[in-house]
Each structure stands twice: as structure tokens, then as C-alpha cells.
A and B are shown apart, each in its own frame.
Chain A
Amino acid sequence: MRPGLAVTLSALADDTRRTVIEQLARQPFSAGELADRLDVTPAALTRHLRVLRQAGLVSVALDPADSRRHVYSVETAPLEGLTDWAGQLVRFWASQVAAYAREARRDDAAG
């Protein structure tokens, strides 16, 4: 486990923060837009965004289209390593099981 992953995991052990990440995965939003979408108070959202920023999961930048507005984006790097062992095994077995199911359908059709 890489250093800092515990911080990443605890940052994500929260429904609101995971929803924030899911929203930002679609497009960048300002804090105000996120508060509206998630139906949380701006103060609560500010706290959640601070936790996510400290974990390196989101970044904030000036909106290129409007320099008075700050928008938040997802940062992918901290979690890419998470999929290593489980993702590898899921991909391997999913491909075997899919091939098995295809062959079973052939059997069934010939049946």
C-alpha cells in the first residue's frame, strides 16, 4: 500500500464525498453548484471539499471561461493503484466466465 492511501480511503468513506466525486467525474463544478446539486449547506460542502483536496482527490482552478469563478475537478492519480490486484483478477475471471457462458449458450442452442 502506498503512503497516503489511508488518507484517500478515509476521505472516500463518506457518502456525500463519494457523490461529490461522481458529480465531478462528469464535469467540473463550482462549490455553489455542487451544494445545490447535493442539497447540502455551503458550509458542509466546504468542509467536504477541504477533505477531498487534502487527499489529493480534487483540485480547484479558475474557470477558463469566467475568471471570477473557481471550479473543482477530479484528480485521478491517488486512486489509480487501487484497482491493481482486485481489478486484475476481476478482469481475468470475467473474461473466462464470459467465454464459458458463450460456450454454454452454444450447447443450449444445440441441445
Chain B
Amino acid sequence: MPRGEVTVTTVVGLPVEEAFTLFTERIDRWWVRPAGTATGSVVRFEGGRLVAVTSQGVEVLASVASWDPPALLELDWSGPHAQPGDRVTIEFEPEPAGTRVTVRHHREGVRPEETTAAVLGLWWGSVLSRFASRRP
């Protein structure tokens, strides 16, 4: 089954163990709640899941597929923009300046031409921003 993938990466100035802990145990400190989420929601890993607890109830954002501190986290994604079979991997790699954190969102059943479309879509986004900023 072909897969599509979206990757976002960053380097943080923390040792790899602390980078992993910040992503997991302390996720509530930084996780961005989508607009419209009830205020006061708490986001945390508990019972093998990533959940957002609000006054309305518990929303399961992901199930933990593997938990391999401080190197790797794999999640079966059910949060925002999820489609069945979505898998998110988060890798933590030591670097001289700290830790490289790479988030990969894999999507099953994406046809090869759609993967091309995704790459071109990103390119197109940059073209469109220039198009939008040009003078009439």
C-alpha cells in the first residue's frame, strides 16, 4: 500500500532525554489547542493514549503504538485532520546543539500521484504567496 508522508523538523537546545520528556510528560505546557476547543482543556499521555480532557469529556488524540524513550514515539493518530490508518512518528536524535525532533505524519493509501501533488502543493503554496504579494 503506498503511503504519503508529511515531515516537520526542528532542533531544540535540550539534551535528548529532556527533549523527550518535554514532548511527553510536559505536553500540556505547549500543545496548541485548535480554535474552538473548550478553555481549560488538559492534554496528557495516560493509559497508552494521548488525550485532551475538557469539561465536555475526553477526546482521544492518539493511541501510543510504541514508546521508546528517549529516541522514538509512534502514535496511531485520531486527532485533528485524522484519517483511518494515520501513523505519526516522532524521532529524537542527539545533535551537537541539542536534539533534532522530527515529526512524520504517514498516511496510508495515498496514490503516488497524490504524493507528487502534495510536494507540488507545498511548492505551489510558495508560488501563491508571491503571487498574492505582487503589485496589481
Contact = CB atoms under 8 A, between A and B. Distances in A.
Nearest to B21: A107
Interface residues of A, number: 42
A80 B127 CA distance: 11
Nearest to A94: B8
Nearest to A93: B8
A5 B115 CA distance: 13
B122 A83 contact: yes
Interface string A88-111: 111011111111111111011001
A6 interface: yes
A93 B31 CA distance: 10
B125 A83 contact: yes
B75 to A, nearest CB: 12
A97 B13 contact: no
Q: Interface size for chain B: under 10, 10 to 19, 20 to 34, or 35 or more residues?
A: 35 or more
Contacts of B122: 83, 86-87, 90
A54 interface: no
A41 interface: no
B22 A87 contact: no
Contacts of A38: none
A65 interface: no
8 contacts: A9-B113, A9-B117, A25-B130, A79-B121, A87-B122, A92-B80, A100-B10, A103-B26
A88 B4 CA distance: 13
B34 to A, nearest CB: 8
A94 B6 CA distance: 10
A86 B124 CA distance: 12
A104 B14 contact: yes
Given A89-B81, A103-B26, 10 more contacts: A25-B127, A82-B120, A85-B118, A87-B121, A89-B105, A100-B12, A100-B22, A103-B30, A107-B22, A108-B13
Nearest to A5: B117
